[in-house]
Amino acid sequence: MANNKTLCCICNEEKITYPCEGCSKRFCFVDLEKHRQVLNDELHHITNEYNEFKQTINEQKQNPQNHSVMNQINQWEIQSIEIIQKKAQNCREIFNKSLPTFFNDIETKFNDLNEQIIQIRKENEFNETNLNYLRNQLIEITEELNNPSSISAKQNSQRLINDISIILSKKSKFKKWKQNAITVAGGNERGQELNQLNGPEGVFIDKNKNVFIADYLNHRIVKWKHNAKEGKIIAGGNRQRNLMNQLTHPTDVIVDQQNHSIIIADRGNRRVIQWLNQNQQILIQNISCWGLAMDKHGFLYVCDLEKNEVQRWKMGEYHNEGIVVAGGNGRGNQLNQLDYPTFIFVDEDQSIYVSDTDNNRVMKWRKDAKEGTLVAGGNDYGRNLNQLYHPQGVVVDHLGQIYVAEWGNDRVVRWCEGKQEGEIVVGGSGRGNQLNQLNHPSSLSFDDEGNLCVADSGNDRIQKFEIIL
């Protein structure tokens, strides 16, 4: 019995202890009950907060005038009216002060013309020229009275008040996904049948929602059409060897949609190979490849595990040497080094995001940079939100938000560049095979609707988490 005893984390005595799956600590029976009571109290507190939130929703639905946005609009109206009224009053005061001088000038001109009319009548000597002159002079002073040149109101092109508008965003910046996934490939236990997978690693979704999978332990690439019940072998599947039609432990696959070919990281055979209509071509040889990516210019990026670097290759020029674009300074944890890089992502600016797996971090290397920038993790391995545990698949959305598959924590997290911690997107409910659980997730891919697909390697399946619009 003594051999079965361990330290309780509360009383610090050696007793028979029981683990808590949530916090991974061990408690004796008495302290376990206390710990459960603390959790129950916290649940009760959270439940009250949810009830309060529900009441807030009902109040806002019944009284939209009390909403914070409506209050902003009302406040803007009040402040804008006050500004306009003050400006208008100031202009009135200036105008009223200038009126005596203005009317005095008009009356002087009028009196002068009136004297001329009296003189003409008195002398009774006038013709058409005199009458036209008097008529034109009267028109001029009438125009001056109605539209004075010495006094006018001019509107400034610059805004007197700040404008306001309502912006209705169709999609939230911080997207959410349903926590229960849909299995879109595999999920029928481990095996090599067409409806089965065996340790899937890389996953790629094309514009038609076809799912391409690097079926690692089956040494093949399979394609599952949208809503299909089984896949189709499109490369390998002829036992593990190094013949042209064979693969050994493929880790990643991408589709070159311009020429409808697939490019495979054939890691066990130390090569990157292209398949086009069942014709094979070795693109890169003697490379310990893992992750692949292609940018909008057609450059191919490959992770080299042995050299701890990412290489860039120009399509059609694989006889040349690849250019090192990340790492390449030996194995290490400095900003210019990598340690077992796996998956990569390249954005529109040709910045490279690298899952630096054994450093438990994601690094961003801008184009032509000499060192990378830490954008996720980097605080040793662990389960805290400022940590990563063996990150693998990485993708970045159009807002620059970074999504990482944590192989060791069985979850997918989102990091915003510059933030000190991430947030759990899917998974994180413990290791398992339920629809809200993952088991060693490896790679990620978004379809064109924003649904998140995860290669759930330990469960031999591909999971699709549908986006909540």
What average pLDDT does the chain have?
A: 90
Give 232's contacts (C-beta < 8 A, 6+ positions apart): 194, 222, 223, 224, 225
Check whether residue 194 and residue 119 sit in a common domain: no
The last residue of a domain, from among 171, 197, 220: 171
Check whether residue 319 and residue 454 sit in a common domain: yes
Looking at residue 310, which CATH number applies to its domain? 2.120.10.30
Check whether residue 281 and residue 378 sit in a common domain: yes
193 belongs to a structural domain: yes
Check whether residue 206 and residue 154 sit in a common domain: no
Region 234-248: mean pLDDT is 90
Q: Check residue 109 and give its pLDDT.
A: 80
371 belongs to a structural domain: yes
50 belongs to a structural domain: yes
Instruction: Enter the tokens of residue 462.
Output: 């591909």
Residue with token string 């920038």: 373
Rounded CA separation 443/251 (Å): 10
What is residue 356's three-state secondary structure?
Answer: strand
Q: Which domain holds residue 21?
A: 5-60
The DSSP code for 241 is S
69 belongs to a structural domain: no
Region 239-249: mean pLDDT is 90
Q: Identify the band that residue 306 occupies on the pLDDT scale cut at 50, 70 and 90.
A: very high
Nearest to 378 by CA among 344, 345, 400, 404: 404
pLDDT one-digit tens code per residue, 341-378 = 999 999 999 999 999 999 999 999 999 999 999 999 99
Is residue 330's pLDDT more than 50? yes
Q: Check residue 469 and give its pLDDT.
A: 67
Q: Check residue 434 and give its pLDDT.
A: 95
Check whether residue 307 and residue 441 sit in a common domain: yes
Q: Check residue 1 and give its pLDDT.
A: 46
Give 463's contacts (C-beta < 8 A, 6+ positions apart): 181, 182, 183, 184, 435, 438, 453, 454, 456
Phi (first) and psi of residue 386, to 5 degrees: -100, 10
52 belongs to a structural domain: yes
Instruction: Enter the tokens of residue 395.
Output: 């993708």
Share of the chain above pLDDT 70, in %: 97
pLDDT one-digit tens code per residue, 137-182 = 888 888 888 887 777 777 776 677 777 776 655 445 668 899 999 9
CB 232 within 8 A of CB 194: yes
Check whether residue 236 and residue 321 sit in a common domain: yes
Q: Taking the mean position of all CA atoms in its chain, how far away is CA 163? A: 29
What is residue 128's three-state secondary structure?
Answer: helix
Check whether residue 105 and residue 254 sit in a common domain: no
Share of the chain above pLDDT 90, in %: 61
Instruction: Enter the tokens of residue 219.
Output: 């040494």
pLDDT one-digit tens code per residue, 377-414 = 999 999 999 999 999 999 999 889 999 999 999 999 99
Q: Which range, of 29-33, 99-103, 261-265, averages the lowest pLDDT?
A: 99-103
pLDDT one-digit tens code per residue, 179-238 = 999 999 999 999 999 999 999 999 999 988 999 999 999 999 999 999 999 999 999 998
Region 108-114: mean pLDDT is 83
Instruction: Enter the tokens of residue 158.
Output: 């610059």
- Name the strands in the sheet holding 211-215, side by side, starting at the edge strand that comes first in the sequence: 200-205, 211-215, 220-224, 232-236
A 10 A CB-CB count for 460 gives 24
Check whether residue 237 and residue 144 sit in a common domain: no
Q: Check residue 288 and give its pLDDT.
A: 95
Check whether residue 435 and residue 396 sit in a common domain: yes
Give the pTM: 0.67
Q: DSSP characters for 79-101? A: HHHHHHHHHHHHHHHHHHHHHHH
205-221 in b/e burial notation, b at 16+ Cβ within 10 A?
Answer: bbeebbbbbbbbbbbbb
Instruction: Enter the tokens of residue 287.
Output: 């490379």
The DSSP code for 31 is H
The tally of domains found in the chain comes to: 3
Spell out the long-range contacts of 228-232 with Cβ–Cβ below 8 A and sequence spacing 24 or more: 229/195, 230/193, 230/194, 230/195, 231/185, 231/194, 231/195, 232/194
79 belongs to a structural domain: no
275 belongs to a structural domain: yes
Check whether residue 107 and residue 253 sit in a common domain: no
Q: Check residue 121 and give its pLDDT.
A: 80
71 belongs to a structural domain: no
The last residue of a domain, from among 13, 45, 60: 60
Rounded CA separation 239/246 (Å): 7
Check whether residue 195 and residue 156 sit in a common domain: no
Rounded CA separation 466/79 (Å): 44
The last residue of a domain, from among 134, 153, 171: 171
Please state at what angle helix 68-123 crosses helix 128-146, rounded to 10 degrees. Answer: 160
Check whether residue 456 and residue 309 sit in a common domain: yes
Q: Which spans in 124-225 are helix H?
A: 128-146
Nearest to 405 by CA among 375, 444, 377: 444
Residue with token string 């911080």: 174
Rounded CA separation 447/65 (Å): 40
